[in-house]
Amino acid sequence: MALLRSFVTLLACAAIGTQAAPAVEQLQSRGAARRQAQNADAVRLQFMSDILGAPASSSMVKDLSSDAITNVIVSKTDPAKDAPVSPAFTASEAVNTTQSNLVARSFVTGASLDDLKLHQAYAAASYCLAGIENWTCRERCSGPTAGTIVVKKFDTLATNTVGFVGYNPSQKAIIVSFRGTLSIRNAVADLKFFKIDADYRLNRVKVPNGAKIHGGFADAYNAAASTVRSAVQQILNGPGKGFDIHVVGHSMGGAIGILGAIDLYDFLGESFGNRIKTYSYGEPRVGNQAWANWVYTLPFFSNMFRVTHNNDIVPHLPPKSFDFLHHRAEYWITSKGDLSNCDDSLGEAAACAGSVIIPSIAAHLIGYFDIAFGDRLAGFFLSDPVLFNYHLGDLDDFHFPHCTWQTAVDSDGTLKEVVLLYHSPTRSTPVVLALSKDEDDFGQLVAHLAKNRFFPEKFWCHFSAGFMRMVDPAYRLSTKTPHPEVNFKMCLGPDGVKLCQQALKKKPLSDQLIRLTSSPDHLAAAMDLYSTVPSIDFDPRMLHSRFHYGVIEPSSTATTPRLLCIAGVNVHSADYKLAVIGSVATRPGFRGAGYATACVATCVLQLLEEAGCRPDRIGLNVEETNAHARRIYDKLGFLPVHTILEGEFVLHVDDQ
């Protein structure tokens, strides 16, 4: 998975290329297995072969900047060239624009373009369920979508199937909207390429033999099918009698949507054959060729709109080499923002999304008309979820109202750098997260913020190298931390589960190890322990994560414990599938007994066993000087990934 994520990161960076200096803007609001995959290395190798259009070698997977990859890309762009690609090389430059390709598509304007933009807003609205009950999700709920009434929201935890059903009286349309995955990088890395028979739940509609669909997408729709059917029927029996049904979705939501539209046609009957429309944006491949051909024989085939954008990576998945093929009809947004009606009557159009050599994740979230899909912040942080684990945690509802986000954006709206300011409801000192990806862009942003007094007079900061220089002379380290603390960001490695299990077997503490709750007695016990270790930062609300474990004194009880050691989860996000372990503390006089090892190992194993909560990544931070803690984490399989600095900053007296 790590290799594929790295490859995807390379693709996204190549798509950005050399841009103008970023602008600064402020964001103060947010948009809120059934079968086993094939061998991961083989999938990555095949995926790279499909993307490059040439056989890939294992060395290419290991070295993503190798000359072998460069030469393939350049030779496909211009066979006469055989030279390294410059840093400014972008995917749009690699698009084959020969005359034979250009005549295979025509441009879309006017009412048809407006219709696709309208339904893109409905698809984007599914990413902000917290604001749609009263239809108040900013630009997604204004203009032509104004007046929409939401009848039912759905959010199935097991399959992450999220969306809503509503209707718009002025459009005389019922809207069924499916959200895509919030973590597009997880989606790219974890796509399961298995297929099942396409008659997955159909009763009346006959599917040809051999038609297959993606089993994971079928599971995802099945999880919400009853809710969707019921809500649509409710509207048809009431205020929406005679209305058409418009099914929309982005990313995985687009795949779920096409399956949903077929299911609704099967459920409602032939009279709805000309009353169903589908609109998908960045939809992955859903079925095999037999299924794709059959879909275009359905009565509502002329009202199917599959929109792709420039070098969006998701429409290239699952790979065609796994016997998947797109259904018609593709509408491609070019790198210049033009919309083309593609000729895919003989299969996928080579002149549209199929002409792109280097796909990008950024193009999946931004560039589908005027509204960004998902959360731009999440899209940025997921480029390195270990570095930005606390940032992702702060996107959760508990933290977000207390955060202000300052960003550097490129001319096309792509986020380049982010600085976060968090005012805790329980702490007096604000916290700033200032971790950079690119020093130049980051420097411009930080200098702008320091000059305009964005930072408080005093704040605790997690920062990247260079931050001190960038805020000087306006801000300096305080006397509390005259020198910055060096911390390692660590992430559970591939051997972590086995090592945690071995650690618990080596020192069983079943009689002393308890799971802490937010009860008054457990909270008091935790506060008592942390009072003996004042250097540990603890917020009482952390117990609400439900993943805090403690070792109690043998003479005490689980109800009213005296804790000897504690470890817990400070950040746990089901949406972004990550957790961060922190606030590990051992009472003085009991260190070296293996209690911290047992607590941390239990946190890890319980996180991975809890239904519906399993994270893809478990991280933690540890001070460079804490050699004892580092040995514990090494023993449990945590690997150092990043180095960051911490310290308290104050406004310099001369500048007050």
Q: Residue 276 forms beta bridges with which residues? A: 245
Fold of 381-488+643-656: Aminopeptidase (3.40.630)
pLDDT greater than 90 at residue 232:
yes
pLDDT greater than 60 at residue 583:
yes
2-33 CB burial, b ≥16 within 10 A, e <16: ebbbebbeebbbbbbeeeeebebeebeebbbe
Determine how β-strand 149-156 pairs with β-strand 161-168.
antiparallel
**Cα angle 447-451-457, degrees, rounded to a multiple of 5:** 110
Query: 127 — alpha (psi -120 to 50), left (phi > 0) or beta?
Result: alpha
pLDDT greater than 70 at residue 16:
no
Q: What is the mean pLDDT of the chain?
A: 80
pLDDT greater than 80 at residue 544:
no
Contact 249, 257 (CB under 8 A): yes
The tens digit of pLDDT for each residue in 342-391 reads 988 878 888 899 888 777 766 777 778 877 776 667 778 877 888 998 98
Tell me which amino acid residue 262 is: I
pLDDT greater than 80 at residue 576:
no
HEC sequence for 520-554:
HHHHHHHHHHHHCCCCCCCCHHHHHHCCEEEEECC
Q: What is the mean pLDDT of residues 334-340?
A: 87
CA distance 534 to 108: 64
User: 100-365 belongs to which CATH class?
Assistant: alpha beta
Q: What is the mean pLDDT of residues 229-250?
A: 97
Topology match between the domains 381-488+643-656 and 494-636: yes
Backbone angles phi, psi at 265, to 5 degrees: -65, -40
Contact 450, 621 (CB under 8 A): no
Q: What would the two tokens of residue 529 be?
A: 């322990």
Top pLDDT among 605 and 541 is at 605
Contact 555, 544 (CB under 8 A): no
The tens digit of pLDDT for each residue in 138-148 reads 678 888 999 99
Indicate yes or no: pTM above 0.85.
Answer: no
Q: Which of 60-64, 67-71, 439-443 has the highest mean pLDDT?
A: 439-443
pLDDT of residue 192: 58
CA distance 125 to 127: 5
Please state the CATH superfamily assignment of the domain spanning residues 494-636 in this structure.
Gcn5-related N-acetyltransferase (GNAT) (3.40.630.30)
CA distance 195 to 212: 6
Give the C-alpha distances (Å, rounded to integers) separating 621 from 387, 417, 449.
10, 22, 26
Q: Tell me: cis bond preceding 329? Omega within 30 of 0 counts.
A: yes
Q: Tell me: cis bond preceding 534? Omega within 30 of 0 counts.
A: no
Domain positions in the chain are 100-365, 381-488+643-656, 494-636
Q: What is the mean pLDDT of residues 148-164?
A: 85
For residue 58, name the pLDDT band (cuts at 50, 70, 90).
low
Query: 453 — alpha (psi -120 to 50), left (phi > 0) or beta?
Result: left
